[in-house]
Chain A
């Protein structure tokens, strides 16, 4: 009898878990949708910004401290992880990439975004340069500004020699991949983009008017470019986090349901067994009496 009760208890436990994970799945799904919408809404600006920079690059051969390499300072890695767990292998994948990076840059320091990144960094025995935790669920532009300010300042003062970012790239709801990108110096990723466009629009360039001057505008535009790039990375990471969590929770609730099914089968079997043995008892008792 006690066996039966125990199984019953386990069934209700599994049921509760399934309910909770189902709810978490739904919450994650709606948050993912929000993050995706946000990324879509921000697309216009980055398109406009990229076009402008491409135009500027064509108009003048720009020179800016953010565009040039220097050897002084530490290599910096910016790791964007989640604050909370229960999102599948997302943070573990980041950890694997970080370990590879560590082997290449033994003197590197890490700027962490999210609590999990801090834990990872310490586990790998790397130095945390700065940490940004407890960011709001809804990524806003103001979350990005301090991070980028810190990076630009460090780079210009030659504390950092390069800045890379490690985040989870959102491919689709079912798959997210850790991705490594170089933020600074900028030239590495920008020259390729601009060269493609040069060929198509050489003609119109001479007429372009820049006020006050291409250089002055570029000085101001580049930090915006970086900010915008990082903002997008933040959004991608957020969308990945929510979709990973959604999938993890979906799996969890499915597993809980499977478990419930198995347990119910065992429960029914043992109940039937009890009934059968009781019947046998009664029958054999009446037979003995007769």
Chain B
């Protein structure tokens, strides 16, 4: 049977790259099976089970939401999302980031003065140190 290349990639790395005879994939419009010489197709992939066949071997992979592109050359590329689980909590994280920024804005005003004071103290200390050093050692 005629084969075609199948690539499954996520944002972070390449997951699968094989020559297959057929692949069944859950899409937003229902499950479809792709054989070699399929017409060019671009569609959304839904979370579910992707099954591909290599000769007598049948392999199944769990995929998350993403996209699939069947190119005019017959190459099938499935792009899955590796951050699915984190999307729910990301808004919360963004809120925390804004809050943290507001705190910084309030804090830095005092901190600035503190930093200035610290800097001048440090300079004075250094001067003392240098004065002591030059007395002791003559290198």
Report which A residues bind B (CB closer than 8 A): 2-3, 6-7, 38, 41-42, 44-45, 48-49, 51-52, 55-56, 111-112, 118, 122, 127-133, 140-142, 144-147, 149-150, 153, 204, 207-212, 214, 216-217, 220-221, 224, 227-228, 231, 266
Contact = CB atoms under 8 A, between A and B. Distances in A.
A101 B43 CA distance: 41
A210 B42 contact: yes
B72 interface: yes
A127 B28 CA distance: 43
B24 interface: no
**Chain B at the A interface: SS class:** mixed
Contacts of B90: 142, 145-146, 149
Contacts of A224: 67, 79, 81
Give the interface size class of chain B.
35 or more
Nearest to B69: A52
Interface in B70-125: 71-72, 77, 79, 81-83, 86-87, 90-91, 93-94, 97-98, 100-101, 104-105, 108, 111-112
Interface of B: 7, 9-14, 27-29, 39-44, 67, 69, 71-72, 77, 79, 81-83, 86-87, 90-91, 93-94, 97-98, 100-101, 104-105, 108, 111-112, 136-139
B101 A51 contact: no
B44 A118 contact: no
B100 A131 contact: yes
